[in-house]
Structure 1
Amino acid sequence: MTGAQAPEPPGASGGGGGASSGGVEEQELLARAALTRVLEPGDERGGGWLREYGAVGLMRMLTGTEARAPAGGGAERLAGYRRRAASADPRRDLAAAAGSGSRFVCPGSAEWPTQLDDLGDARPVGLWLRGRPNLRTWALRSVAVVGARACTPYGAHMAQTLAAGLAERGWVVVSGAAYGIDGAAHRGALASGGATAAVLACGVDVAYPRGHAELLGRVAGQGLVLGELPPGSHPTPSRFVLRNRVIAALTRGTVVVEAAHRSGSLVTARRAQELGRFTMGIPGPATSGLSAGVHELLRGEAVLVSDAAEVVELVGSIGELAPERRGPVLARDLLDRETGRVLDALPAGRPVQAEELARACGNGADEVIGRLYELHSLGFVERQGDGWQLSRQTAGGGTRTGATRRGGR
């Protein structure tokens, strides 16, 4: 929209490349594409105007083609909006997007993930996408994996393993493409041949961080790269923070792998909690500052998870349960109560008569002798003349079995 012009009607000159209308009129699509250059991500005042006046109406106000102006903005701020609106050229942006294999989707289009509407007036004006998959379909079964940039080897391993496990189970791994945990999560999903999506705080044609240019190319080739900002836009600190609300709203739940007390990934987790999404954390060493933020989450409403199966049990459908966690069981744990009492009563290091055992157990001598023969057949005890004593194997700590169960006898 150069020269303070309102959106052109359908059929006007110029290409609409890069658009993904899916039921959205061209004027609406052009106006929303223009507004991605006018409104900063998460601008709730602008979002309120958008809700009240509509995208086309708001652009007409900001470009001066309508006499009235949106209320409540303040003269200085409104002047800034007007300057941005005057230089916006949505057709150029859509053509640039098409040239880089990208597209633009907005509320009302078939590909728009409606869970983003939970953000209210902070909802994105629209999203620029790079990659072939359908965002709406992918978002229905997605989990965010986020964490520290300066992560430990433990954190990187856990993020990569978790992401691979989620991808193998048919879940889309969503993260922010940053160094550290984000990058490990994307790589884990890619390595397993699964689905992953990167939410950027810049244009989807901008490789940021530059060291992840190759990774972002792989994500776009196998999955999706998306963001609120138009082509060529560069990140700022505030845009990183506001990007996190999209990650939180887009997904079924957020897993924080490592995070210090002031980590930006905690913003994602807390926003997920506010939106009613599942919030999970992978614990680390109690002495690790990089896990301190995660541990604080776990002291609140977050759920402790240790692998992909536990994440899916929380965010998935009924019946998607994690395997029961069991510890090793000694063979003596499988004995019935009375036989176990006889075994427990046998002293270590010396033989004992059946009558003495009977007094210790409070049972009859005949019953105790029967239990002792049972224990003898199982290798727990040995005969020593007229007495009985623990076998060497039993005295050394018991026998493990191939079976497992929770707890002990």
Structure 2
Amino acid sequence: MPGPGVPYGERLARVALTRVAEPGDELVGRWLTERGPEEVLRALRGGGGRLDGVSPQRWEGFRLRARDLPHPEADLATAEGTGCRFVCPGDPEWPAQLDDLGTGRPVGLWVRGAPSLRFWALRSVALVGARACTDYGVHMAATLSAGLAERGWTVVSGAAYGVDGAAHRGALGVDGATVGVLACGVDVAYPRGHERLIRSIGEHGLLLAELPAGAHPTRSRFVQRNRVIAALTRGTVVVEAELRSGSLVTARRARELHRTVMGVPGPVTSGLSSGVHRLLRADGALVTDPDEVIELVGHIGELAPERRGPALPRDLLPPEAARVLEAMPARNAVPVGKLARAAGTPSELTLVRLHELRSLGFVERKGDHWWLLPPAPAVARHPNV
């Protein structure tokens, strides 16, 4: 059904143009801005002269695609019959942050799933990474995704193998919100091995595509899909990526759009960490858990707990007692006088501190000699202590 504020003729023209223009075509985007969808479609169908800024060969390519288009009303009816809808600029459901793409913003989006795209995108994070990821990458992607979803954030990814799939499964596993952005039509399960996952995303979350039903992915469409993931979300987290990785394209687009760029570190010996580590050396933020992600992309006051190492009993000692304890030899018993010289503390005060240390289980005494006892186990410190 037509959305409020979007003339029906404009909506039909945008539907038709999703079959003519490739995603992210900035030339077509400029035409849409300057002339409007209906005039652009009319020109492509032969209702006027050639539009400016295009070579004769490319213009002929546009004309070939526009020549035998199915009627856009039929596309809308087919979409509605399969539980899909078309969302375009001017609709209440249109996420305004996609307008940051300028002339490269989508002509419109084919959407499958009941939730509101605009509302789900308000608190969303992109989670992307290597397709051929390690078990560590799968674990980190699923853990981050589940944690973000449990905290009310929408996890956005590309439904690919590896990190993408783990991210979607992590959110679905806790009944959280997840959005799959596809480089094909929303009715095309790609990759084929993710057919069940993609169906599940469409049933419990949202599937998005710039391309109409039946369209298949190409290399360039994957690249352009990444710009939508970057623009739709508040920030992008990269989990495992080689130096030439599509997920780094998403991160670069996110940086260009002034979104937060984050990376999860990995082993320095792994090629799958090299891209992430280069990202972190540039201006990416290092994150290791959902709270750290939310601190970067959330509202003021949504802070991650302070991380501290385990508290050792000797950390709680007064300075003089700690100095006497540090002066104790590791293996041999020692008399008070010798220990006092090593600690730089008067003998009387050294003896007082030794008795305190004995009561706390640090040292033991036999006659005039003192020696160290085995250290007590570390005590985990509460993050807010």
Do both proteins adopt the same fold according to a TM-score greater than 0.5, normalized to the shorter chain?
yes
Deviation at 1:355?
A: 2.9
Q: Deviations over 1:321-365 (max 9, x none)?
A: 112212122211110111100111122333333333332222222
CA distance in 1, matches of 2:302, 2:18: 39
CA distance in 1, matches of 2:207, 2:218: 18
Matching residue of 2:378:
400
Say what the alpha-carbon RMSD is for the aligned residues: 1.6
Given residue 141 of structure 1, which amino acid in structure 2 is its aligned partner? R
2:209 is aligned, of 227, 231, 234, to: 227
Q: Which region of structure 1 is more displaced relative to structure 2, 287-296 or 36-45? A: 287-296
Aligned 8 A contact 2:2 2:8 in 1: no
Name stretches of at least 5 consecutive residues in structure 1 with no aligned partner.
Answer: 1-18
CA distance in 2, matches of 1:265, 1:188: 18
Matching residue of 1:16:
none
Aligned 8 A contact 1:352 1:389 in 2: yes
The answer as to 2:70 corresponding to 1:92 is: no
Matching residue of 2:46:
64
Matching residue of 2:118:
136
- Summarize the alignment of residues 308-323 of structure 1 with structure 2, pairs less than 5 Å apart: 308-323=290-305
- Summarize the alignment of residues 215-294 of structure 1 with structure 2, pairs less than 5 Å apart: 215-294=197-276
What secondary structure sits across from 2:299 in the alignment? coil
Matching residue of 2:59:
78
Deviation at 1:147?
A: 1.1
CA distance in 2, matches of 1:400, 1:206: 55
Given residue 400 of structure 1, which amino acid in structure 2 is its aligned partner? A
The answer as to 2:184 corresponding to 1:202 is: yes
Aligned 8 A contact 2:309 2:381 in 1: no
Deviation at 1:72?
A: 1.7
CA distance in 2, matches of 1:343, 1:405: 27
Given residue 83 of structure 1, which amino acid in structure 2 is its aligned partner? L
CA distance in 2, matches of 1:212, 1:171: 23
Given residue 257 of structure 2, which amino acid in structure 1 is its aligned partner? L
Given residue 161 of structure 2, which amino acid in structure 1 is its aligned partner? Y
Change (3 A) 1:115 1:284: same
Deviation at 1:399?
A: 4.4
Q: Deviations over 1:5-26 (max 9, x none)?
A: xxxxxxxxxxxxxx45132111
Change (3 A) 1:143 1:375: same
Q: Which region of structure 1 is more displaced relative to structure 2, 78-87 or 240-249? A: 78-87
Aligned 8 A contact 1:145 1:173 in 2: yes
Given residue 123 of structure 1, which amino acid in structure 2 is its aligned partner? R
CA distance in 2, matches of 1:50, 1:402: 60
Deviation at 1:233?
A: 1.0
Aligned 8 A contact 2:309 2:380 in 1: no
Given residue 264 of structure 2, which amino acid in structure 1 is its aligned partner? I
Matching residue of 1:185:
167
CA distance in 2, matches of 1:378, 1:320: 40
Aligned 8 A contact 1:118 1:249 in 2: yes
CA distance in 2, matches of 1:60, 1:308: 49
- Please report the TM-score for the alignment, with normalisation by the length of structure 2: 0.95
Aligned 8 A contact 1:328 1:405 in 2: no
Given residue 250 of structure 1, which amino acid in structure 2 is its aligned partner? L
Matching residue of 1:164:
146
What secondary structure sits across from 2:334 in the alignment? coil
CA distance in 1, matches of 2:330, 2:134: 47
Matching residue of 1:117:
99
Matching residue of 1:45:
27
What secondary structure sits across from 1:400 in the alignment? coil
Q: Deviations over 1:203-259 (max 9, x none)?
A: 111111112111111101110000100111111111111111100111111111111
- Summarize the alignment of residues 339-358 of structure 1 with structure 2, pairs less than 5 Å apart: 339-358=321-340
Deviation at 1:387?
A: 2.9
Change (3 A) 1:282 1:372: same
Change (3 A) 1:20 1:223: farther
Q: Deviations over 1:36-92 (max 9, x none)?
A: 111110101111111100111211222233x34321212221222222223222111
What secondary structure sits across from 1:401 in the alignment? coil
The answer as to 2:368 corresponding to 1:390 is: no
CA distance in 1, matches of 2:246, 2:330: 58
Deviation at 1:31?
A: 1.0
Q: Which region of structure 1 is more displaced relative to structure 2, 101-110 or 326-335? A: 326-335
Q: Which region of structure 1 is more displaced relative to structure 2, 351-360 or 312-321? A: 351-360
What secondary structure sits across from 1:388 in the alignment? strand
1:211 is aligned, of 190, 193, 207, to: 193
Given residue 117 of structure 1, which amino acid in structure 2 is its aligned partner? D
Percent identity (aligned): 63
CA distance in 2, matches of 1:175, 1:281: 15
Q: How many residues align?
A: 383
Name stretches of at least 5 consecutive residues in structure 2 with no aligned partner.
Answer: none
Change (3 A) 1:265 1:352: same
Q: Deviations over 1:107-136 (max 9, x none)?
A: 111010111111111110010000011111
CA distance in 2, matches of 1:150, 1:358: 62
